[in-house]
Amino acid sequence: IEEQFTALREVDSTRRELIANVSHDLRTPLASMQGYLETILMKQDELSDEERRNYVQIAYKHSKRLNDLIGELFELAKLESGSVEPHWEQFPLMELIQDLIQDYELQAGERNITLTSNCEDISTTVYADIALIHRVLENLLQNALRHTPEGGAINLNVRRDGQRVWIEVADNGQGITAVSYTHLTLPTKRIV
């Protein structure tokens, strides 16, 4: 019973931390969006068409980010309730990883962070839900970028182990140890 109470306290603590993080993550784009829209409203006669267009584009970008975050929360709620049905398909894993690296190269480059991938067999295909795997890897990569110091390195390692593929996101950011690792294991074919 004591172990169950300890586990419940840990879950409750994790839930509170998640709510605090989500609140912060939602507040940031919302505050930026409101600030730019307020500027447009207050200074509409003073702004040039180009400035107004620029402010609207920035507000729109933040509204899209806010929409993405809300979508992630909705998806998390569906995952926790067990109501998500994965769409299983076979796809080349390295194409997905290269796309992700390409998406985050600019952000990493701005902080002089090296973003690389290593794979024993670049032709490896996996059997999984590509959208869910993309989301998981994107979240791990975003987390690694947030916690890796300027001039650091993030590496996505892929290795095959029989009928499974291991994906390891390694960075030299602050963590429990000098190097943080996160593993994801995927089947290479449908397992019945």
The distance of Cα 142 from the centroid of its chain, to the nearest Å, equals: 4
d(Cα 39, Cα 42) in Å, to the nearest integer? 5
Q: What is the DSSP letter of 46?
A: T
Taking each helix axis from N to C terminus, what angle separates 93-110 and 130-147, rounded to the nearest 10 degrees?
A: 30
CB proximity list for 167: less than 8 A, separation 6 or greater: 93, 97, 137, 156, 157, 158, 183, 184, 185, 186
| Helix/strand/coil percentages in the chain, nearest 5 | 55, 20, 20
For the beta carbon of residue 171, count every other beta carbon within 10 angstroms.
26
Taking each helix axis from N to C terminus, what angle separates 2-42 and 49-81, rounded to the nearest 10 degrees?
A: 160
d(Cα 84, Cα 32) in Å, to the nearest integer? 32
pTM: 0.59
Half-sphere exposure at residue 113, Cβ-oriented, CA atoms within 13 angstroms: 26
d(Cα 60, Cα 29) in Å, to the nearest integer? 10
pLDDT in tens, 132-184: 888 889 888 888 888 899 999 999 999 888 888 888 888 887 754 544 445 55
What the block records as the tokens of 151 is 């001039």
Report strand pairing: 153-161 vs 114-119.
parallel
- Beta-bridged to residue 158, according to DSSP, are 119, 167
Outline where 43-182 has alpha helix (H). 49-81, 93-110, 130-147
pLDDT score, position 42: 92
d(Cα 85, Cα 181) in Å, to the nearest integer? 28
Average pLDDT per 10 consecutive residues for the chain, totaling 192 residues: 80 74 78 89 90 91 85 73 78 91 90 91 85 86 88 91 86 61 58 42
